[in-house]
Amino acid sequence: MSQKNNEHLNPLDSMKERFSHAASILGLDQTAYDMLINPQKVVVVSLPVTLDNGKLQVFEGIRVVHSASMGPSKGGIRYSLNVTLDEVKALAAWMTWKCAIVGIPYGGAKGGIKCDPRNMSAGELERLTRAYTVAMQDVFGPDRDIPAPDMGTNANTMAWIMDEYSKIKGVVSPAVVTGKPLVLGGSLGRVEATGRGVMVSARSALAKLKMDPVKSTCAVQGFGNVGSISAKLLSMLGLKIVAISDITGGYYNKNGINIEEALNYVRKNNGTLEGFNADRITNDELLTLEVDLLVPAAMEDQITENNAHDIRTKLIVEGANGPIASNADDILFKKQINIVPDILANAGGVTVSYFEWVQNRLGYYWTEERVNRRADRVMKQAFENVFQTSAKYNVSMRTAAYILAIDKVASTQKLRGVF
Ligand code: GLU
């Protein structure tokens, strides 16, 4: 995705600004504010790894635990060249708020390794992941901190972590990570869970706005796990997906894109949409299309003060974490664009991660139907709670989501006490 103009932006600033805004409306006391604005724990490690050419390269590995007040901390691990400590801090805090909003007993964390997973072999990725697990052996744990996939990582990565951690501890420990392959104790429905939650959130929002899905058009930015599944499920709901995109750019068809076809194309085409049969558009053109629903599901800071004025959709449902920079919030609010914020809209993933962890601990596995039914119920209820809070305080859904989450975490902290 094009990030040329956005390099000065820092997702941690966006997180802190929104946190502070919600905290002031809530009248959060200073102690709680001080405890929640910064992470509880930051671990940065150097990981020397042998590359396939025999040379040694030292990678930087990060794990940030924002809060463990509500339970063990939870959150994905990101492999990307753009990983920074501030980004991981922001993502960790967002996990805390996300888990509180959907009411699962977890705190928030996030991990990251600065690397280019697309240009590393499976062997290199495996050695890097195992080195990271060894370095984080006292951070991770089924009752301590539970990683999951994020950008650049997947079920295979989780399998390596589970294996390495189990070897170190001398016990088979599937509940130390979620998003595992099914045969290792993964949950049915986990791969689709984030996109499914985006669809459920969009469905709730469309209903509130009295918009008919069958008469609505939609553009989806990003065609990774979240974007592609969201696009597929939204098209099954009846929306016409007129545009999709990935790292190779945007693809537009005013009559609607067949998402199954696009998914099959990507599978056969080295994982990208390059050459897919549709009109080519730029990433910025996709974001500013006149559509009923826009789903940014790629990465942070895609909608900023630079392009917010040009956004022409009625509704944005944030599939990615932090796709809208806080400097665009007021502009979009004044344009009366409805936004279902990331910490609500993409919480379906961590919800089913929780179900996976529960199943691992029970040693009893659910049907996909049960997973989906329960996850849908959680997402619908969370949407309703945020919606009611936004009406109560007369604020945006985003501010309402922060208010709800901060209130929960702060009151739990108060009950637990400090020394
Ligand atoms: N990485 C995902 C997220 O940002 C999932 C985290 C998890 O399941 O722990 O929500």
Spatial CA neighbour of 418 closest among 47, 103, 34, 145: 34
The CA 37 to ligand 1 mean position distance, Å, reads 20
Q: What share of the chain is helix, strand, coil (3-state, %, to 5)?
A: 50, 20, 30
Across the chain, which has 419 residues, the per-10-residue mean pLDDT values are: 60 96 97 96 98 98 97 98 97 98 98 97 98 98 98 97 98 98 98 98 98 98 97 98 97 98 96 97 97 97 97 98 96 97 98 98 97 98 98 97 98 88
The neighbouring-strand residues paired with 219 are 243, 294
Q: Is 75 touching ligand 1 by the criterion CB < 6 Å? A: yes
Q: How far apart (Å, rounded) are the C-alpha atoms in residues 386 and 114?
A: 35
**Percent of the chain scoring above 70 in pLDDT:** 98
The neighbouring-strand residues paired with 79 are 113
CB 124 within 8 A of CB 59: no
The CA 157 to ligand 1 mean position distance, Å, reads 14
Residue from 77, 194, 350 whose mutation best tests the ligand 1 pocket (most atoms within 8 A of CB): 350
Output the residue whose Cα is nearest ligand 1's atom 8. 350
Confidence at residue 417, expressed as pLDDT on a 0 to 100 scale: 87
Q: How far apart (Å, rounded) are the C-alpha atoms in residues 217 and 90?
A: 32
Confidence at residue 6, expressed as pLDDT on a 0 to 100 scale: 61
Residue from 63, 70, 353 whose mutation best tests the ligand 1 pocket (most atoms within 8 A of CB): 353
Residues 3-48: pLDDT tens digits? 444 667 899 999 999 999 999 999 999 999 999 999 999 999 999 9
Does residue 4 have an active-site annotation?
no
Residue appearing with tokens 């979009």: 332
* Cα pseudo-dihedral 35, 38, 40, 41, rounded to 10: -170
The CA 53 to ligand 1 mean position distance, Å, reads 33
Residue appearing with tokens 């990307």: 80
Please identify, by atom number, the ligand 1 atom nearest to the C-alpha of residue 98: 10
The 3-state DSSP class for residue 364 equals: coil
Walk me through the domains of the chain, giving residue ranges and CATH numbers: 39-184 (3.40.50.10860), 187-419 (3.40.50.720)
